[in-house]
């Protein structure tokens, strides 16, 4: 199984849930991940869903930024 390295991440907490935006690396490829999850009673993170896309895809990043700002 490939080993992922987190380069940078940031998290937004709402209630018992969170959304995490992270830049990660696996082997030589870098990607951006958006993940959703929640905190357990013990305070640990549990991830439920996520999506990733290539970090060097400027058109996709611009598309996401534009549409998130307009919604």
Per-residue pLDDT of the chain (71 residues; tens, 9 = 90+): 788 899 999 999 999 999 999 999 998 899 999 999 999 999 999 999 999 999 999 999 999 999 999 99
Residues sharing a CB contact under 8 Å with residue 64, sequence separation 6 or more, in sequence order? none
* Nearest-angstrom CA–CA distance, 59 and 7: 21
pTM comes to 0.82
* Nearest-angstrom CA–CA distance, 67 and 9: 21
Could you tell me the fold of the domain covering 4-70? Answer: Nuclear Transport Factor 2; Chain: A, (3.10.450)
């Amino acid at each position: 199984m490939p080993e992922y390295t987190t380069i940078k991440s940031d998290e937004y907490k709402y209630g018992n849930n969170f959304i995490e935006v992270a830049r990660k690396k696996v082997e030589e490829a870098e990607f951006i991940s958006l993940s959703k999850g929640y905190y357990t009673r013990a305070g640990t993170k549990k991830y439920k869903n996520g999506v990733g896309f290539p970090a060097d895809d400027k058109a996709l990043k611009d598309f996401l930024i534009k549409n998130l700002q307009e919604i």
